[in-house]
Amino acid sequence: MNTQDILSSYLIGIYLGTTGAIILSLIQVLPIKDSFGTIVLGFKNPNTIGYYFAMIAMIQIMIKKGNYKILNFIVYITAIYFNIKFFGNETAIMMMLLFILVYILFNYMRIFDKNWIITLCLGALPFILFFIALYLGNNYGEYNYIEKINKIVTSRPVIWHYYLTNYPLSLFGNDVQIYTNGLAYTVGQGAFDGAYIYFPILNGILPFIIALFGLSISNVYLYKSRNFILLTLFIVLEISGFSEIYYFHFISLQ
């Protein structure tokens, strides 16, 4: 299967799964809203449905089948509108704006062709994101500027600090417990976003480092083979994973 076939198959899967969840929510088998009154359309939280809307819009642009530029534009704008108006998923909005920027840079600006600096940056990207997240989590409360960053990224560093303090990184992960009251109260009550801290704490630093090397090698390979379509998706998901967990997690603490 080539890249287009893989993306098409993934898109069909998202369409079917999302449509099924929405239908089940409309007939009241699954919830339309969460406990806070936010529209979720059958999913556990608005971030999930917002993410799938964003993925549908991005992949439709990447597939490039037929002359559907106007339709793709409408779908893209609709996905952004729903994330702003109904889901409040700021990460999905950022992801879609970042996608347009990276897509234009790699698919239309030839200054990036065979550039060793870009190759080095792409290979280092997953590790850079991990070390930034680790630094913010370990040093939360030490510096005022980290508190400002904490507000910008909606309390991710304070949550990372809690888990890094109570569940130190180990080779094969930790058995995380959630406490909703008492002295052992869990910050965020199980809300744990940020793949670069979530994955190593729950699954272990060893498999996480292997995953980082896999992403690094994939970035470099896709760049050198000029597969800019798939590379664009990888970059967007890796950066978005800084504040979300959809791209690494197998279970949810919530």
Domain residue ranges in the chain: 3-108, 114-254
170: left (phi over 0), alpha (psi -120 to 50) or beta: beta
- 44-73 confidence digits (pLDDT tens): 888 889 999 999 999 988 886 656 778 888
Report the alpha-carbon angle 66-238-8, nearest 5: 25
Q: Which two tokens stand for residue 150?
A: 């904490």
Q: Which two tokens stand for residue 223?
A: 């760049």
* pLDDT score at 253: 46
More confident of the two residues 196 and 193:
196
DSSP for 28-52, written as a single string: TSS-SB-TTS-B-TTSSSHHHHHHH
| CA gap 211, 194 in Å, rounded | 15
- 122-152 confidence digits (pLDDT tens): 999 999 999 999 999 999 988 888 988 888 8
How many Cβ atoms are within 10 Å of 185's Cβ, its own excluded?
12
Q: Which two tokens stand for residue 75?
A: 């779908």
Question: Where does the pLDDT of residue 216 fall: very low under 50, low under 70, confident under 90, or very high at 90 and above?
Answer: very high
Q: What rounded mean pLDDT belongs to the chain?
A: 85
